[in-house]
Chains A and B, each alone.
Chain A
Amino acid sequence: MVGRLVRSPEALFGLGLAALGIFTLVAAGDIVSPVVWGPALMPRIVGIGLLLLGLATVIERIRIPAEESNNAKNEWRGFAWTLGSLAAFGLLVGPVGFPLAAAALFACVARGFGSPRPLRDFAIGLALALMATLLFAHFLGLPLSWGGALESILRSR
């Protein structure tokens, strides 16, 4: 039984749901709720719901393991590049500004989807990001940062 549980990703997901339900219930205890219709009512219902649904998921997957519905093979490199693109953006946006960081993000995602030429992707991403930045500044009156290095060049002109 434990073997089935560990081998089924959905059963593990069900365990996670049940844990989230318990957490929601425990944290609901901290909410000051003097009457039945107070602010803790909904959290309790949601917590119980998540717990029951989580258990139902675990039980269903242990009783009938899901058949592998799609036989497409996993491509974790593509997944990692796509998720990593956000990390790259988060690290870069401070030092180099939005357009360059967004171009790096674009290139990472393109790489994740199998594009073989990162430099060309970066250039396309940069063009798209510059266009988006200008539109954004125009519509919202919210200029995005151009990054320290670029800003000092622009200011020196």
Chain B
Amino acid sequence: MEALAGLASGFVIAFTPVNLLWSLVGVTLGTFIGVLPGIGPALTIALLLPVTYKIDPTAAFIVFGGIYYGAMYGSSTTAILINTPGETGSIATTLDGHQMARRGRGAAALATAAIGSFIAGMIGTLLLAFLAPEVVKLALLFGPAEYFALMCVAFVAISSMLGTSVRRGLVALFLGLALGLVGIDQQSGQARYAFGLLELLDGIGVVVVAVGLFALGEALYFASRRDWDKDAAIPLKGSPSMTAEEWRRSWKPWLRGTAIGFPLGALPAGGTEVPTFLSYRIERDLSPRKEEFGQGAIEGVAGPEAANNAAVAGVLVPLLTFGLPTSATAAIMLAAFQQYGINPGPLLFANNAALVWGLIASLFIGNAMLLVLNLPMAGLWVRLLHIPRPWLQGGIVLFAVLGVFGASRSLTDVAILAGVGLLGFILKRLEYPLAPVVVGLILGPMAEVQFRRALQIAQGDWWVFLEKPLAAALFALAAILLVLPSLIRFYVKPSSR
């Protein structure tokens, strides 16, 4: 029972006053940016990277974990009250949540979202705590060939699951891989694609890319199409609460949403978007009142909102055990580990046990704090929805520039920011997903190391990737994942969007 011992030691760390405070900071900030449209957890953590460098890594990851969990709570408020998803994981919530709000049941929608998120977050974190040590044992069996195969699974999964087609996802991924090539090659010390520019030798920074895509790219996108101001927030009457009937209709979707969200988050399936739509569709198919869906069925809020929180807990399994990011936010958390000189992966649990278990324990605490922040205090967050969009967007771009320019004081970085912003704008306009770019940028160089190491050990024999049974099985999985999304989309699409 490694997990129990680990959790016990983790709670000792997480319950120190200073770490409780960091957890509160994280979940509050997470709810804040979750409620605000246009700023998500990936962007927030990227902006905090230069700041958190000054604090101890355990505290930093407690904050990041809180932000990731909190964003999933906060985004449901926005989805329900103004029909705009705060994050991609809440798109499914807008379908019935907003209809509930229009029918005066906004308070119940918020309650089922918050309680569902809490239950899913607790079960998900518990699964994370008990599964992670077992997965670590598996991870220790991995050599370079197996690691490379696993990274290919992640590449395929994130590009095929997000966005509107596999080709679009792969384009975004390869753009990220190309950006990741810039700079000094880790193994040979040779400069690649630096064009003699000193600024490019260190590579293109994750902060510039994440901020450029998610802050500037999205701002340019929304500025170019003025359809974001059509919905005003629906006022919330009373505090969130549910009737007995609504409880009865919610609890099964919460559990089913958790059961769908956690494995899809953990099996690199690209974050929170797919599990929420899958959960929505399943609830619709199982419901005896199909006609209510799209008109304000509470199951259509309860399921997806549980699914997105469970998926976030799931995403942390491959991140902590293999060092494998499967969402943009996880990729940036990986970059944060690298900034501290920590290599996430099987050795993390041995070398940085205090950090890992402190983080996991703090997620339980943060989840409890989030329930309080989002149920009795929901009315407070609703006020954020009244910030005029011009100021909100101006503030996001201001902090984006501060995050990029403040640390380096280099106008070259501002120019790169503008370039990446334009790229993000083009990708969004043409409906390409952005997350694979970030994952490609961060995971690309890591995959390259394993790829070349495996080939080097095999003295250039390409069969090395298929001779090892585990690697071959992973490549087969990657091949399946390439076609699976078309099948899921075929099931989910026709009537849900």
Chains A and B are bound partners: yes
Q: Which residues of A contact B (CB under 8 A)?
A: 9-10, 13, 17, 20, 24, 27, 31-33, 35-39, 41-43, 46, 49-50, 53-54, 56-57, 60, 69-70, 72-76, 78-79, 81-83, 85-87, 89-90, 93, 98, 102, 105-107, 109-115, 121, 124-125, 128-129, 132, 136, 139-140, 142, 144
By secondary structure, the A interface counts as: helix
Q: Which residues of B contact A (CB under 8 A)?
A: 50-51, 54, 167, 170-171, 174-175, 177-178, 181, 185, 187-188, 190, 192-193, 216, 219-220, 222-227, 229, 388-391, 393-395, 397-399, 401-402, 405-407, 409, 411, 414-415, 417-418, 421-422, 425-426, 429-431, 444, 448, 451-453, 455-456, 460
| B417 neighbours in A (Cβ, 8 Å) | 86
Once the chains are docked, how many angstroms separate the CA of A20 from the CA of B426? 15
Measured CB to CB, the nearest residue on chain B to A117 is B390
Are B390 and A90 in contact, CB atoms less than 8 angstroms apart? no
Known contacts: A36-B455, A113-B389, A115-B388. The answer to whether A53 contacts B190 by CB under 8 A is: no
CB distance from A14 to the nearest CB of B (A): 8
Are A93 and B405 in contact, CB atoms less than 8 angstroms apart? yes
Once the chains are docked, how many angstroms separate the CA of A16 from the CA of B395? 32
Are A74 and B224 in contact, CB atoms less than 8 angstroms apart? yes
Measured CB to CB, the nearest residue on chain A to B228 is A113
CB distance from B321 to the nearest CB of A (A): 25
Are B401 and A86 in contact, CB atoms less than 8 angstroms apart? yes
Selected from A39, A75, A90, the residue in CB contact (under 8 A) with B190 is A39
Are A39 and B455 in contact, CB atoms less than 8 angstroms apart? no
| B51 neighbours in A (Cβ, 8 Å) | 136, 139-140
Known contacts: A75-B226, A79-B224, A109-B394. The answer to whether A37 contacts B452 by CB under 8 A is: yes
CB distance from A38 to the nearest CB of B (A): 7
| A43 neighbours in B (Cβ, 8 Å) | 181, 192-193
Are A140 and B411 in contact, CB atoms less than 8 angstroms apart? no
Are A139 and B54 in contact, CB atoms less than 8 angstroms apart? yes
Measured CB to CB, the nearest residue on chain B to A108 is B394
Once the chains are docked, how many angstroms separate the CA of A20 from the CA of B407? 30
CB distance from A122 to the nearest CB of B (A): 10
Known contacts: A74-B224, A136-B406, A139-B51. The answer to whether A110 contacts B167 by CB under 8 A is: no
| A98 neighbours in B (Cβ, 8 Å) | 402, 405-406
Are B422 and A83 in contact, CB atoms less than 8 angstroms apart? yes
Are B411 and A53 in contact, CB atoms less than 8 angstroms apart? no
| B389 neighbours in A (Cβ, 8 Å) | 113-114
Measured CB to CB, the nearest residue on chain A to B418 is A86
Are B397 and A105 in contact, CB atoms less than 8 angstroms apart? yes
Are A142 and B414 in contact, CB atoms less than 8 angstroms apart? no
Are B220 and A83 in contact, CB atoms less than 8 angstroms apart? yes
Once the chains are docked, how many angstroms separate the CA of A99 from the CA of B54? 23
Are B391 and A110 in contact, CB atoms less than 8 angstroms apart? yes
Most buried by A among B174, B185, B414, B421: B174
Measured CB to CB, the nearest residue on chain A to B430 is A10
Known contacts: A13-B430, A49-B174, A132-B402. The answer to whether A42 contacts B181 by CB under 8 A is: yes
Known contacts: A42-B448, A53-B171, A70-B225. The answer to whether A115 contacts B401 by CB under 8 A is: no
Once the chains are docked, how many angstroms separate the CA of A121 from the CA of B193? 41
CB distance from B170 to the nearest CB of A (A): 6
Once the chains are docked, how many angstroms separate the CA of A140 from the CA of B53? 9
CB distance from B229 to the nearest CB of A (A): 8
| B391 neighbours in A (Cβ, 8 Å) | 106, 110, 115, 121, 124
The 10 closest A-B pairs by CB, nearest first: A78-B223, A115-B390, A110-B390, A113-B390, A37-B455, A106-B394, A72-B227, A109-B394, A79-B224, A72-B225
CB distance from A119 to the nearest CB of B (A): 14
Are B220 and A105 in contact, CB atoms less than 8 angstroms apart? no
19 example contacts (A-B, Cβ-Cβ < 8 A) are as follows A24-B181, A35-B460, A36-B460, A37-B453, A39-B190, A39-B192, A46-B181, A57-B167, A57-B171, A75-B225, A82-B219, A83-B418, A86-B401, A86-B418, A98-B405, A112-B219, A113-B390, A115-B388, A125-B394
